[in-house]
Amino acid sequence: MAKTLGMLFGIVFLGVGILGFVPGVTSDVNGMPMLLGIFHVNTAHNLVHIVSGAIFLFAAMSGAGAARLWFQIFGVIYAIVAVLGADRFRYPETNRLADPRSSFRRCEVG
């Protein structure tokens, strides 16, 4: 199960990361690039998604144990980023990490 989910997550993350660079799929909404008009994207987001997807695929191909370990590491990292992004109103210096909607999506994934 972990291998299958790892392959699925890898394909989705790679796809989202690559689509973030495609001008026809992204559009400007209020001056911000949005993937499918819903998700805020930029070069850093796209690269993180591509790297995460590649690691998911590598871990899934390495075996169930490696896939399970990467899911655990990935969940912890995304949870930390979500907390830092959601806490940006209390600590303005973390303002560049993420917008609150993006933070809540990371909580759902993590």
Structure tokens, 102: 């993006």
Q: Residue 101 pLDDT more than 90?
A: no
* pLDDT tens-place string over residues 60-75: 999 999 999 999 999 9
Strands of the 32-35 sheet, one edge to the other: 26-29, 32-35, 39-40
pLDDT, position 13: 94
* pLDDT tens-place string over residues 11-58: 999 999 999 888 888 888 887 888 887 888 888 889 999 999 999 999
pLDDT, position 51: 94
Q: Residue 100 pLDDT more than 80?
A: no
Domain boundaries, the chain: 2-109
Return all residues near 61 (Cβ < 8 A) that are at least 6 apart.
3, 7
